């Protein structure tokens, strides 16, 4: 028996500890496969899916724990943008493709300064 999660290492409980609970606790402490969603984001957005998306938008716009001033790296038209393909958002937020749409979900639920869909290196990206 192994404890596995998408994008997380496969850890066999017997490989780390004879107790499966101990192996699970080790895996839980070592994995970074999580999203921190504050309840306020869900309340602001009006539902859980939009709350997770808002949480990730906030994450990408806040300074990192390593002291980086900004996580945003794409500069276009004189502005820094959060640029992701829809498939990236779906994978990151663990939602179904039909549950996501920046113009509908994001702009319709709360005020975002500006959104756009543009090409970046010949791939379509949503810019926030």
Where does the chain show beta strands of DSSP type E?
74-76, 79-81, 83-84, 116-120, 123-127
> How many Å apart are CA 2 and CA 35, to the nearest integer?
23
The per-residue pLDDT for 50 is 86
- Kindly give the confidence (pLDDT) of every residue in the chain, 128 residues in length, as a single tens digit, with 9 standing for 90 and above: 444 444 555 554 445 557 899 988 998 999 888 888 999 988 988 888 888 988 998 888 888 887 776 788 888 888 888 888 888 888 999 988 888 765 455 555 555 556 566 555 556 667 67
Buried b / exposed e along 46-73 (16+ C-beta atoms within 10 A): eeebbbbbbbbbeebeeeeeeeeeeeee
Distance CA(99)–CA(64), nearest Å, equals 28
- Dihedrals φ, ψ of 22, to 5°? -65, -40
Check residue 63 and give its pLDDT: 83
Determine contact, residues 86/126, Cβ cutoff 8 Å: yes
pTM as predicted: 0.66
What are the angstrom distances between the C-alpha of 46 and each of 54, 71, 105, 117? Answer: 11, 26, 10, 24
8 Å CB contact between 116 and 127: yes
Question: How far apart (Å, rounded) are the C-alpha atoms in residues 90 and 52?
Answer: 11
pLDDT of residue 65: 80
CB 128 within 8 A of CB 82: yes
């Amino acid at each position: 028996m192994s404890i596995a999660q998408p994008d997380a290492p496969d850890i066999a409980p017997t490989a780390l500890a004879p107790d499966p609970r101990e192996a699970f606790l080790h895996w839980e402490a070592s994995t970074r496969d999580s999203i921190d969603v504050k309840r306020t984001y869900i309340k602001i957005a009006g539902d859980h899916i939009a709350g997770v998306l808002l949480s990730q938008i906030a994450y990408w716009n806040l300074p990192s724990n390593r002291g980086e001033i900004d996580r945003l790296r794409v500069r276009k038209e004189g502005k820094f943008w959060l640029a992701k393909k829809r498939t990236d958002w779906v994978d990151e937020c663990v939602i179904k493709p039909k549950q996501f749409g920046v113009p509908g979900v994001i702009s319709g639920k709360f005020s975002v300064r500006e959104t756009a869909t543009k090409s970046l290196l010949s791939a379509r990206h949503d810019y926030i």
